[in-house]
Homo-oligomer: A and B are copies of this chain.
Amino acid sequence: MKQTVAILGATGAVGEEFLRILAERRFPVGELRLLASPRSAGQSREFGGRSLLVAAVGPSSFDGVRFALFSAGATASREWSPIAVRAGATVIDNSSAFRMQADVPLVNPEINAADLAGHSGIIANPNCTAMIMLMAIAPLHRANPVRRIVAATYQAVSGAGRAAMRELEQQTRDLLTGRPAQPQVFPHACAFNVFSHDTAIGPDGYNVEETKVAEESRKILHEPSLPIAATCVRVPVFRAHTAAIFLTFERPMRPEEARGILSAAPGVRLVDDPQRNHYPMPGEAAGRDEVLVGRIRADSSHADGRGLALMVSGDQLRKGAALNAVQIAEALLARTTE
């Protein structure tokens, strides 16, 4: 049965990815409403061979809508979610606004689709970095409980939106022609540079991104006290996030065992070829649905065999955002028709 779908933030980097993914996956879209702030309204976007006008979001935008896919920032989500829910829509929210709310499921369908049961109108789409990391961690955790996660990330600029992607391109051109870098979206130069993630630093010294990774991972894994430390860093890459992860398990975990588990895990593609030095790279993860996982080896700082090191790389705009949201909608539809 065809569904009326609304996309809030339709002109953003994630918004455009929504259009591509709904089409690729032949999601049963009936009416499609493209919505944005008044500033971005009036543009048009293609879908299913037709050109659709982007409308300014308003009080009646969600009347008759089944799924409202939100990716316009936490402020917009807080403003429009109650209105969309009252209109009868299920909001799948890509912002951080509701993720840690107890009555809002935070769902990665490959991991915790069961958490969708009994939602109250809003489903939160997890933080992109947490999501990409958990695609590798969760299947291992099911086999042998993870007792500690340490990670350092290599995050694409797309996480800060389309303007950030343009900034990386323009700044790179400027530096290559001898002009100075002029950071506007980011506080620091992003071209040919690396910097600690540009979110606010809390009293514990962790930035908001790192705190999201820790808190959201605990919620998705149903491990409220799992020890996690992350250092989140931006790199000059357009759209896929990479992470170097060190895991400590309850019991010893051999690399071959982990490889076996991950090669059978849904949404994961094992890229782990020492001969060719071929491992997860953002250049290969970009545009793909699967999260790439590899460089699986014993953590050499653990003598007891309980440590494992690995790398993951996943498209920030797809699995890290739009794809996961559409998968949530698919999972909700499957539950309805079961």
Residues of A at the B interface (CB closer than 8 Å) are 148-152, 154, 168-169, 172-173, 176, 187-189, 192-196, 198, 200-201, 204-207, 214, 227-229, 231, 233, 235-238, 242, 244, 246, 255, 274-283, 295-303, 307, 309, 311, 313
Of the candidates B188, B192, B200, B238, the one whose C-beta lies within 8 Å of that of A237 is B192
A244 touches B152 (CB 8 A): yes
B302 touches A227 (CB 8 A): yes
Given A244-B233, A301-B227, do A281 and B194 touch, yes or no (CB 8 Å)?
yes
A235 touches B300 (CB 8 A): no
Which partner residue on chain B sits nearest A294 by CB separation?
B196
**What are 8 A-B pairs with beta-carbon distances under 8 A?**
A192-B238, A193-B281, A196-B277, A205-B296, A205-B297, A227-B301, A227-B303, A246-B246
How many identical subunits does the complex contain? 2
CB distance from A67 to the nearest CB of B (A): 33
Distance between Cα atoms of A194 and B237 in the complex (Å): 8
Main secondary structure of the interface of A (DSSP, over half): mixed
Distance between Cα atoms of A169 and B279 in the complex (Å): 23
Given A152-B152, A205-B255, do A300 and B192 touch, yes or no (CB 8 Å)?
no
Given A154-B194, A196-B277, A196-B279, do A301 and B229 touch, yes or no (CB 8 Å)?
yes
CB contacts (< 8 Å) of A276 on chain B: these are: 187
CB distance from A233 to the nearest CB of B (A): 7
B283 touches A196 (CB 8 A): no
Which partner residue on chain B sits nearest A186 by CB separation?
B277
CB contacts (< 8 Å) of A283 on chain B: these are: 188-189, 192-195
Of the candidates B172, B228, B307, the one whose C-beta lies within 8 Å of that of A172 is B172
Query: By CB atoms of chain B within 10 A, which of A187, A235, A237 has the most?
Result: A235
Given A192-B238, A235-B236, do A229 and B307 touch, yes or no (CB 8 Å)?
yes
A194 touches B295 (CB 8 A): no
CB distance from A296 to the nearest CB of B (A): 7
Distance between Cα atoms of A157 and B228 in the complex (Å): 31
B214 touches A300 (CB 8 A): yes
